[in-house]
């Protein structure tokens, strides 16, 4: 039984199959389904390598009868044939009191498991496509309204364009807006939202990200100019660079899987579409993974865990990323 995203959370079933290109939406819906029901329900988040654990918990007997178990399977799109057969068996044997939530974001339409899941008539299925700009702007406006934030229409439009489809990034921005607003409820315009998004100097920030992604030593000079002369937020610079490194990592992975459109799968938009394929040649996959970890360290330092200036924290991180082997 296939449902639209709007109807999914109103449904009640023992087995769900969530898939599509909107990764954030898939996992957001899955988490809501997982948290529904009484507090004493056992809740699991597992990968395909841990399916036996779900079966053990689902069949366990408590003092007062069988216990209930809700399980979220995070990565069905990468399941092996054996794991796929195991998942199908679990779907067919799912008990009414339990809940099995299978997530397969970005799964290839031609994969055998996907076709077999779609053929399960009793399985609740839902596809999450990348939203249109209008649909994403509508969702964004709704989230801002829930948080009682008074954002101008022009600022909402800019947020929608910059963050199109990136729900997790949008939620992070909303949290920053809440901190800025402090519950006062005053109208927040494009100037404030632009600063938080890094739109004060978007072309120069992009130039810095490109230089780091290309492992070009010019990145240090660009960084100092952005912070000292243009007063761009260090946190925003790290956010933009984090997005770029993640895009490189995802692009390399999809290329290794021989996807037809690796750039789209990796959510690479704008000028970055021209640059990411070439930038990716400057990195090994392992180096990109280490780069992400290095930026997490820098983020913690920027948030108060360092006596060094924020610029020095970013300079050290940038130097590490420019090395042939990331520290």
User: Token pair for residue 135?
Assistant: 């649909």
Per-residue pLDDT of the chain (327 residues; tens, 9 = 90+): 899 988 998 888 999 999 998 888 899 899 999 999 888 888 999 999 999 989 888 776 554 456 789 999 998 998 999 999 999 999 998 888 899 999 999 888 889 999 999 999 889 999 998 887 778 888 888 889 999 898 888 788 778 877 777 787 788 888 888 888 877 878 888 778 877 776 666 678 889 999 999 999 999 999 999 999 888 888 878 888 988 999 999 999 998 888 888 887 887 776 788 899 999 999 998 999 999 999 988 888 887 656 778 899 999 999 999 986 444
Residues 230, 190, single domain; the answer is: no
Single out the residue in 162, 177, 197 at which a domain terminates: 197
The boundaries of the domain holding residue 257 are 200-327
112, 127, 142: which is the final residue of a domain? 127
Pull the structure tokens for residue 275: 């640059």
Q: How far apart are CA 288 and CA 216, in angstroms?
A: 16
What is the domain-level CATH number for residue 29?
3.40.50.300
| C-beta neighbour count of 203 within 10 angstroms | 7
| Residue 148, both tokens | 């009682």
**Threshold 0.85, pTM exceeds:** no
Please count the structural domains in the chain.
3
């Amino acid at each position: 039984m296939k449902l639209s995203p709007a109807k999914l959370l109103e449904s009640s079933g023992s087995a769900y199959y969530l898939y599509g290109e909107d990764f954030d939406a898939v996992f957001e819906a899955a988490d809501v389904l997982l948290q529904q029901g009484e507090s004493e329900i056992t809740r699991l988040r597992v990968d395909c390598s841990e399916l036996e654990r779900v079966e053990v918990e689902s069949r366990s007997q408590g003092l007062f009868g069988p216990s209930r178990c809700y399980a979220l399977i995070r990565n069905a799109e990468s399941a092996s044939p054996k794991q796929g057969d195991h998942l199908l068996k679990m779907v067919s044997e799912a008990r009414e009191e339990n809940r099995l939530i299978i997530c397969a974001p970005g799964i290839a339409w031609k994969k055998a498991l996907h076709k077999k899941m779609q053929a399960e008539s009793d399985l609740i299925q839902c596809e999450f496509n990348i939203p249109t700009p209008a649909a994403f702007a509508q969702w964004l406006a709704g989230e801002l309204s829930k948080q009682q934030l008074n954002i101008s229409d022009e600022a909402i439009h800019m947020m929608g364009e910059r963050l199109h489809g990136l729900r997790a990034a949008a939620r992070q921005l909303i949290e920053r807006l809440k901190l800025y607003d402090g519950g006062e409820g005053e109208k927040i315009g494009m100037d404030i939202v632009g600063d938080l998004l890094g739109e004060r100097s978007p072309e120069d920030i992009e130039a810095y990200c490109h230089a780091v992604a290309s492992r070009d030593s010019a990145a240090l000079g660009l960084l100092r100019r952005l912070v000292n002369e243009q007063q761009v937020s260090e946190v925003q610079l790290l956010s933009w660079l984090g997005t770029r490194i993640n895009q490189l990592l995802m692009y390399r992975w999809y290329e290794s899987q021989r996807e037809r459109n690796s750039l789209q799968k990796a959510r690479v938009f704008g000028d970055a579409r021209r640059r990411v394929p070439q930038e990716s040649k400057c990195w090994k996959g392992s180096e990109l993974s280490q780069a992400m970890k290095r930026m997490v360290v820098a983020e913690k330092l920027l948030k108060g865990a360092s006596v060094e200036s924020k610029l020095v924290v970013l300079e050290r991180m940038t130097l590490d990323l420019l090395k042939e082997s990331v520290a």
